[in-house]
Amino acid sequence: MRYVFEVVSHKVTKKWVDETGKKRQQTQKFEQTLNPYNRDATGAPKSREQIWAEIRAQGEAWLKLPNPGAASTTDAGVVG
């Protein structure tokens, strides 16, 4: 028997201008499944809100990482 668990995802896009003046962008998708095996520190299954908070925090942390070859960050926006 095959089980299909719902995916909770969040897409984040970084935008910057590189050293040569070209506009660049990079997108990353963060996701977890809503299933009984995805548990928190207490051993209880995670709720959708807990998963959303975790992947949102991962996305915000990724936005703060330095861009490859970035001269300056012009706009780091969240998509999704």
What are the Cα distances from residue 21, in Å, to 6, 24, 73?
41, 9, 12
- pLDDT given at position 69: 61
- pLDDT given at position 77: 54
Beta strands in the chain (DSSP E): 6-18, 23-34, 70-75
The reported pTM is 0.74
Give me the percent of the chain exceeding a pLDDT of 90. 74
- 46: tokens are 């995670």
Q: Average pLDDT over the chain, rounded to whole?
A: 87
- pLDDT given at position 73: 47
How do the domains of the chain map onto residue ranges? 6-75
Residues 6+ apart with CB under 8 A from 6: 33, 34, 35
Contact assessment for residue 70 and residue 18, using Cβ atoms and an 8 Å cutoff:
yes
Does 76 score more than 70 pLDDT?
A: no
Residue with tokens 């990724």: 62
Does 13 score more than 60 pLDDT?
A: yes
**How confident is the model over 58-65, as a mean pLDDT?**
94
